[in-house]
Structure 1
Amino acid sequence: MDTPAASLLETALRNMQPGGKTSGIPRIEVHVDQGQDSENACQYRAMACFILQGSKRVSFGDKVLRYEAGHYLVSALDLPLMGQVYSDARQRPYVALTLVLDPALLNELILAMPVAQDDEGSEPGLSTAPMTREIEDVLARALRLMDRPQDISILAPLVERELLYRLLSGQHGKLLRQIASAKGPLPKVRKAIGWIGQNFDRTFKVDDVGAACGMSRATLNRSFREITGLSPLQYQKQLRLLEARRLLISGDYNVSGAAFAVGYESSSQFSRDYLRQFEASPSQDLRRSGTLLPSRRAA
């Protein structure tokens, strides 16, 4: 008899082509990839990512996480990361399922479950764990719905609730409860991240971020670093560099144009930061795009 994991892979590969994402199930996506030769910028939302085959490496600041088939990752925040996916040892494609987390549904489940006695302190906003047999069973049922689209509207909400229940009952329960809660530092750090995302291309002070999310400078710096591994200004720099790389690869900007577009005032400082972050110069990435165009703002 096939194991749940084997059935899961069979369903995913039968229904998805490499590069595919849509599953037809709300908040669930399936990713199939033959593997990548280098890191790529990716934006994580509040989500869970379950790897069914292959492995993935993500880096954020000086933090690096690598997780493989049979493991999953929970992200509590919108985080700009560098990620790279790998096929498995037999060169079979990377396959993963992601679930975008619904805070309202999480809160509904939390209220229905026995009260958990979480210790004080913040959880890292990005964390991995091995999948349990119960989680694999739920994922298998979720993907079987891809073969029966007429059942999705009725059964998908039930499957989503059970999957969130299994996650809340596991070692990421505290982090998920923090996502759903309006209390504690995580909601304020999420607000700070949203503010930085809207203002990353201009100069600001940490006090400006603190005022926007209702935290003192010291508290914001401490909570932000505990949850993301970076200071607010380091996070801003990460956003700038990832956006600059996207602009360069798109071919719409030259090096100085990309630097100024994301808020740098010095092209040379931009090049130094870029090389340190990506281990390649902006000019090298521009040449890889196969385009050398005059600087211009994208339409």
Structure 2
Amino acid sequence: MEAAQPARQEESGVLSNLARAVERIAQSDGDYLTAIPELSLHRRSATTEPMHCLYGFGVGITVSGQKRVALGEEVFDYSAGQSLLTTADLPVVTHITHASPTQPFMGLMLRLDPRTVVQAAAEMALPQPGKDSSYRAMSLGALDATLLGAVTRLVELIDEPRLLPQLAPLLQREILVRLLAGRHGPQLQRLVAVGSPSQQVVQSMAWLKVNFTQPVLADDLAASVHMSPSTFRQHFRAVAGMSPMQYLKQLRLQEARQLMLNQGIDAGTAGVRVGYESASQFSREYARLFGAPPLRDIRRMRETT
């Protein structure tokens, strides 16, 4: 108990350093791309409405405030010092739950490279993870002081553009190694375990992300990874938090929403482009996911931005 107190104090001090480093760059509300392509910083001075988006392979860290991410029926709340690891492309609903002008939400996202994960995992003598059935493509965990320190040095490196090309890859490698050796390690290891059901499901998810406009049957996906349909659905739901067809539907609907919002495409055309043959089915499923029919939803989004 007495030993835990200095550790918490150290983590608090390192987190304060990280908050100052992020705030030097993110001085007002917004999303900040950085000179490190894989790293982005984010700041909000008020809570936000739930927003549908796609989370890719990477780790998100809350520096101050609190954020909620919903994956299917599973909800992840993560606050200062906690991280959310995503090991596959996942459609989620996210919003800021704690933020104010005096205590803003600040966070960062660091994208990871699967090939680098495979290489680093192969070089490390790590204990084998437990049963594959416990694998999730999204996991929540606290960060220790050493990992927070490595992330802080990476953010601070943005102020040293002359050294950045040489040092950024080294710091990113250190962060990845510490993730593999820490609480998120089992999730990353299962991702790269060749031939495991979880890896096969992630491969199917990657295929769907590229080919979501095509006609797809869950049984065909199961056959492509040599699983029975029931076993495939079971593993898919365990990894993604939803069924294969629910995953496909969300990919299509989120892409249709972006087409209408960013390119001014009408609902009928957007539905056809993302793979719907029936306009009424598209409108019905769109309203079920986003809470309003396409035209009304897009109008509402434009009025609030």
Per the shorter chain, which TM-score range? Answer: 0.7 to 0.9
Other structure's SS at 1:221 match: helix
Once residues 73 and 280 of structure 2 are traced to their aligned partners in structure 1, the CA distance between those partners, rounded to angstroms, is: 23
Which residue in the other structure is 2:118 paired with? 107
> Does residue 283 of structure 1 match 2:295?
yes
> Does residue 266 of structure 1 match 2:289?
no
Once residues 187 and 56 of structure 2 are traced to their aligned partners in structure 1, the CA distance between those partners, rounded to angstroms, is: 14
Which residue in the other structure is 2:40 paired with? 29
Contact 1:34 1:86 in 2 (8 A): no
Shift of 1:104: 3.1
Q: Which amino acid aligns with 1:142?
A: L
Q: Which amino acid aligns with 2:35?
A: G
Shift of 1:125: 0.5
Residue of structure 1 aligned with 2:16, choices 6, 16, 19 = 6
Contact 2:45 2:101 in 1 (8 A): no
Which residue in the other structure is 1:179 paired with? 191
Other structure's SS at 2:131 match: coil
Q: Which amino acid aligns with 1:139?
A: V
Shift of 1:80: 2.3
Once residues 145 and 32 of structure 1 are traced to their aligned partners in structure 2, the CA distance between those partners, rounded to angstroms, is: 19
Which residue in the other structure is 1:84 paired with? 95
- Post-superposition CA distance 1:14-46 (Å, at most 9, x none): 123532432222522222334463233322111
Contact 2:259 2:265 in 1 (8 A): yes
Matched pairs, number: 291
> Does residue 240 of structure 1 match 2:262?
no
Shift of 1:159: 1.7
Identity %: 33
Once residues 234 and 245 of structure 2 are traced to their aligned partners in structure 1, the CA distance between those partners, rounded to angstroms, is: 13
Shift of 1:87: 5.1
> Does residue 116 of structure 1 match 2:127?
yes
- Post-superposition CA distance 1:175-231 (Å, at most 9, x none): 111223323122211221122223322332112223444433233212111100111
Residue of structure 2 aligned with 1:40, choices 26, 39, 51 = 51
Residue of structure 2 aligned with 1:158, choices 155, 170, 175 = 170
Other structure's SS at 2:257 match: helix
Contact 1:207 1:217 in 2 (8 A): yes
Residue of structure 1 aligned with 2:141, choices 129, 147, 157 = 129
Q: Which amino acid aligns with 1:38?
A: E
- Post-superposition CA distance 1:40-90 (Å, at most 9, x none): 332211111111122222223333222122110000101122222355255
Contact 1:195 1:209 in 2 (8 A): no
Q: Normalising to structure 1: TM-score of the pair?
A: 0.86
CA 28–290 in structure 1, closer or farther in 2 if over 3 Å, else same: closer
CA RMSD between the two structures = 2.5
Which residue in the other structure is 2:61 paired with? 50
Unaligned runs of 5+ in 1: 292-299
- Post-superposition CA distance 1:89-139 (Å, at most 9, x none): 555332212222223332333233333132122411111112222222111
Once residues 118 and 249 of structure 2 are traced to their aligned partners in structure 1, the CA distance between those partners, rounded to angstroms, is: 33
Shift of 1:244: 2.3
Q: Normalising to structure 2: TM-score of the pair?
A: 0.84
Once residues 288 and 261 of structure 1 are traced to their aligned partners in structure 2, the CA distance between those partners, rounded to angstroms, is: 22
Other structure's SS at 1:50 match: strand
Contact 1:80 1:239 in 2 (8 A): yes
Which residue in the other structure is 1:221 paired with? 233
CA 287–187 in structure 1, closer or farther in 2 if over 3 Å, else same: same
Query: 89-98 or 149-158: which moved more?
Result: 89-98
Query: 179-188 or 232-241: which moved more?
Result: 179-188
CA 183–21 in structure 1, closer or farther in 2 if over 3 Å, else same: farther
